[in-house]
């Protein structure tokens, strides 16, 4: 069954349809939440918050085929809200590092390259780091990043460009944008 039909059912109160939509992308949701929250427990909390918000607000979704970009925006907002409520600073040393499909929980197994990437991103501003993570850790296009962060596409491109430029100037080497 297509996304549009599932969304229509979910809008009519069908919880199973909403659950199917969420489960079809659960790994993407988890990776996205993890990128913001920095650990498994908080990522799961953010996902739970997203599910409640989706259920309560599904009727507000305009384009049925836009469900996934809409839901990811809600997830990012849930992450930011949880971080703000907890006034939590996530230190790189405390992260269970996750890059693409690799998920490493043992600090002794974390590669130097993974730590270097996380460490590098702490040297640029948070908006630039966020845009770079969404682009390169989650393979999102500029439009999707724009929707998720509620930022114009041009600003997203600029943040990525400027963030990469700063990293190049500070650390040299070949960082392609």
Average confidence (pLDDT) over 55-62: 90
For residue range 119-167, list pLDDT tens digits in order: 778 888 989 988 988 888 888 889 989 988 889 999 999 999 998 888 8
Q: Give the angle subtended at the CA of 36 by the CAs of 35 and 39, to the nearest 5°.
A: 70
- Count structural domains, the chain: 1
Of 8-12, 41-45, 88-92, 145-149, minimum mean pLDDT range: 88-92
At residue 116, the 3 state secondary structure works out as helix
pTM: 0.66
Of 103-107, 155-159, 173-177, minimum mean pLDDT range: 103-107
CATH code (residue 28) = 1.10.1740.10
pLDDT bracket for residue 106 (50, 70, 90): very low
- Tell me whether residue 100 is in a domain: no
Spatial contact of 15 and 55, defined as CB atoms under 8 Å apart: yes
Distance from C-alpha of 107 to C-alpha of 96, rounded to nearest angstrom: 7
- Residue predicted with more confidence, 32 or 120: 32
Please check the confidence at residue 5 and state whether its pLDDT lies above 60. Answer: yes
Q: Which residues pair with 102 in a beta bridge?
A: 99
Sign for the CA dihedral angle at 12, 14, 19, 21 comes to: negative
Domain span holding position 9: 1-90
- Tell me whether residue 18 is in a domain: yes
């Amino acid at each position: 069954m297509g996304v549009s039909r599932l969304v229509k059912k979910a809008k009519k109160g069908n919880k199973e349809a909403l659950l199917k939509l969420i489960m079809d992308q659960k790994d993407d949701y988890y990776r996205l939440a993890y990128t913001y929250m920095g650990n498994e427990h908080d990522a799961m909390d953010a996902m739970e918050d997203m599910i409640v918000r989706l259920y309560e607000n599904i009727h507000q979704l305009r384009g049925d085929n836009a469900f996934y970009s809409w839901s990811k925006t809600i997830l990012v907002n849930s992450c930011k809200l949880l971080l703000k409520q907890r006034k939590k600073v996530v230190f790189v040393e405390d992260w269970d590092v996750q890059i693409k499909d690799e998920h490493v929980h043992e600090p002794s197994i974390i590669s130097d390259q993974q730590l270097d990437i996380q460490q590098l991103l702490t040297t640029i501003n948070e908006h630039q780091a966020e845009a770079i993570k969404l682009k390169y850790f989650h393979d999102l296009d500029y439009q999707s990043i724009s929707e998720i962060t509620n930022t114009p596409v041009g600003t997203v491109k600029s943040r990525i460009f400027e963030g990469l430029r700063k990293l190049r100037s500070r650390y040299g080497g070949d960082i392609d944008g």
